[in-house]
Amino acid sequence: MSEEIAPVAPDMTDEVPQTPVAPTPTLPPEAQGKTNGGPLGCCMGITIGLMFGLLIGLIGFASFGSAILTNAFHGDPLTYVRIATAIFGGIGVILGGPIGWRIGKRAYREYDKPVVKDRKSKSKPIPKSAR
């Protein structure tokens, strides 16, 4: 009969403990360091830019631009309105993000935490029904 040889566990005594390596920063340079309202302003700018872009795409392009493209390409005017709305919405997002970042850095600041009084020291009156 053949004997099976069990695998030998590696000797753990020779291993040298390694010091943990500090993680590299994953934030962009403008978000590192001092906290500011740039990211919050960027979200605000993207939202407002998207809304204005969609508004311009739907209202401004729906009457004038779709008539020009329909005559030029002989297609469905609603398709051209949808395409223009998507394009204007994308332009609004691209322009609104950096503008909102700048506004956010000026308008939104990090404030000190509020000081809350310790209310545990005061005894609460006992209701008459519990007496």
Q: Which two tokens stand for residue 12?
A: 């753990």
pLDDT digits (tens, 9 = 90+) for 65-111: 777 777 787 778 788 788 888 888 899 999 999 999 888 888 877 66
Mean pLDDT of 41-65: 85
Q: Is residue 43 part of a domain?
A: yes
56: pLDDT strictly greater than 80: yes
Domain extent, residue 42, equals 35-109
Residue 45, in any domain of the structure: yes
Whole-number Å distance between alpha carbons of 47 and 40: 11
Say if 16 falls within a structural domain. no
Average pLDDT over all residues of the chain? 75
Looking at per-residue pLDDT, the higher value among 72 and 3 belongs to 72
Is the pLDDT confidence value at 43 over 60? yes
Nearest-angstrom CA–CA distance, 95 and 106: 18
Domain contains 12: no
